[in-house]
Amino acid sequence: MMALFSTVFGLAYLIISTRHKERMAMIERGIDLSAPKKQSSPFLKKLAFLIAGVGAGIFFGGVFAAVTPFEDAACYFSMIMVGGGGSLLAHYHLQEKKNEDSPFDLDL
């Protein structure tokens, strides 16, 4: 329990002190702190697509296992892989479409 508490406290301290140092460096360089930042990263959007695809795969795996005589584990595993892979392909195609529409905005 003590190790968990000290780990959480250490990570929180590290994040806060790093943010403070970054802001102080920005002030020294004269960068405006009120400028809007990027809201999210492409990695988080890709991760969201993956999680949604895996969730859909679990759902369809349950449906597939109930309808067919195949083993439950094979149905779930195959549908999770298909759902996760399909969601990553969808993210890739949406990102490519966004890059074609706006060549200067590389973020999805």
Whether the CB-CB separation of 48 and 62 falls below 8 Å is answered with: no
The model's pTM:
0.54
Question: What distance in Å separates the CA atoms of residue 32 and residue 26, rounded to the nearest whole number?
Answer: 8
Whether the CB-CB separation of 58 and 80 falls below 8 Å is answered with: yes
Whether the CB-CB separation of 48 and 22 falls below 8 Å is answered with: no
Q: What does the DSSP 8-state code read for residue 36?
A: P
pLDDT tens digits along 43-101: 888 888 999 999 999 999 999 899 988 888 999 999 999 999 999 999 888 888 877 76
